[in-house]
A = this chain, B = another copy of it.
Amino acid sequence: MSDSDVKFEARQTIEQVEEGDDLAPKFDDRGLITAVTTDATTGELLMQGYMNAEALSLTIQTGEAHYYSRSRQVLWHKGATSGFVQKVKELLVDDDQDCIWLRVEVAGGASCHVGYRSCFYRRIPVGQEFADKAAAGHIPLVWTDTDKVFDPEDVYGDAPNPTIL
């Protein structure tokens, strides 16, 4: 192994994982770790995805976000198709090291396959607003963004939609 390879440490103690400087990520039984991606400038949550060990290694080495696509079951260099590459400004890990936070800049400004800047373009009414709006149990989602940055058909063509029902 050369110094340019990424080596993850074995998880040995809680103190090591929570209070130490070892990178000892916890991949789940599918070999995946949760990844949360926010806009480095605005703090907006852009997307939530998953990484396998290869995706995390490549993200660390290249400074560009790589994920693992569960629907397509492939390593996924974000932006390879759409051009909306995510440049990692800061990469963080949480206390028990089962989640990675990417603070990114996005070329072109979009991160959502539906065409919006963020995958989170609808909000759920909460508390009194929920009580006021819910009728016969139906909670109407409210759009927080209605301006698509791109047309998915132009970018992805006939590629299958990644959403799984």
Residues of chain B within 8 A of A144, CB atoms compared: 90, 92
In the assembled complex, A12 has its CB within 8 A of some CB on chain B: yes
Q: In whole angstroms, what is the CA distance A126 to B154 when docked? A: 33
In the assembled complex, A44 has its CB within 8 A of some CB on chain B: yes
Are the C-beta atoms of A18 and B114 separated by less than 8 Å?
yes
Main secondary structure on chain A at its contact with chain B?
Answer: loop
In the assembled complex, A159 has its CB within 8 A of some CB on chain B: no
Are the C-beta atoms of B36 and A3 separated by less than 8 Å?
no
* Known contacts A94-B48, A96-B164, A163-B14; A62/B141 CB under 8 A: no
Please, could you name 29 A-B residue pairs with CB atoms under 8 Å apart, sorted by A?
Answer: A3-B131, A3-B135, A6-B137, A6-B139, A11-B165, A14-B163, A18-B114, A21-B122, A36-B48, A42-B43, A47-B94, A48-B94, A59-B126, A60-B126, A60-B130, A61-B127, A63-B128, A90-B123, A90-B126, A90-B144, A91-B124, A92-B123, A93-B120, A95-B113, A95-B114, A95-B116, A95-B121, A99-B119, A99-B120
Q: In whole angstroms, what is the CA distance A99 to B48 when docked? A: 7
- The 9 tightest CB contacts between A and B, nearest first, are A43-B43, A7-B137, A63-B127, A96-B163, A94-B119, A92-B120, A48-B99, A21-B141, A91-B124
